[in-house]
A and B are shown apart, each in its own frame.
Chain A
């Protein structure tokens, strides 16, 4: 299994509070990604990183920010959580030109 750890695995938070999800990898891969999974939509790309401090937006980036200060860590932040951000969040990693591998997911509920 690819060495990807997401934390926390489950979180319940209140509307309007900030939330940070963490993805940690032990593979030293260049690329890291955050996706969200919602019923009827499959998975959709939120943001991705192509190196330390290098990030770009995906399909559904509104309301999210990311940071990557070290190769192994990629953080996803919801500055002010909304109910529409209730979802399952997956982190993925890939090396140059290779397939992506996914973490186990974080189930986030915003009440």
Chain B
């Protein structure tokens, strides 16, 4: 199966700092999603990005499909950004289902 690797596994930031999270994948994919899992366990959709760059407020994501990686940028971090960030690649089967293959996540802690 496809391998998805995220780095770094853990990250501690001072409030206001910027960070870049990386996701590498081992094979071609149909799409890619970034999620934030908050401390209560809820998975929040951040980006659905097969290629190129998207921005949403202080967050932006870039996927370079030809080189099999994606980056998530967090600027001016806030304590509410704490949690685990997951990258998941989409492999679309013959049924059309968007099956996701997840990395093991980056645990971000933002300290005031």
* Top 9 closest pairs, chain A to chain B, by CB: A42-B102, A99-B48, A50-B95, A102-B43, A43-B102, A42-B104, A31-B97, A94-B98, A48-B97
The CB with the most chain A CB atoms within 10 A, among B43, B96, B101, B102, is that of B43
Binding site for B on A (CB under 8 A): 30-31, 33, 35, 40-45, 48, 50, 54, 56, 58-59, 88, 90, 92, 94, 96-102, 104-105
Q: Which residue of chain A has the shortest Cβ distance to B35 in the bound complex?
A: A102
Contact across chains for A43 and B100 when beta carbons are under 8 A apart: yes
Q: How many of chain B's residues have a CB under 8 angstroms from any CB in A?
A: 24
Contacts of B45 in A (CB 8 A): 99, 101
Least CB separation from B99: chain A residue: A45
Q: Which residue of B is nearest A107, CB measured?
A: B41
- If over half of B's interface residues share one DSSP class (helix, strand or loop), that class is named, otherwise mixed; here it is strand
Q: Which residues of B contact A (CB under 8 A)?
A: 1, 4, 31, 33, 35, 41-43, 45, 48, 86, 88, 93, 95-105
Point out the residues of chain A lying under 8 angstroms from B41, CB to CB: 88, 104-105
In the complex, the chain B residue whose C-beta lies closest to that of A44 is B102
The answer to whether B95 and A100 touch across the interface, beta carbons within 8 angstroms, is: no
**When the two chains form their complex, are residues B104 and A56 in contact, meaning their CB atoms are under 8 A apart?**
no
A97-B1 Cα distance, complex, nearest whole Å: 21
In the complex, chain A residues whose CB is within 8 Å of the CB of B101: 45, 59
Cβ contact within 8 Å between A99 and B86 = no
Q: Is the CB of B96 within 8 A of A33?
A: no
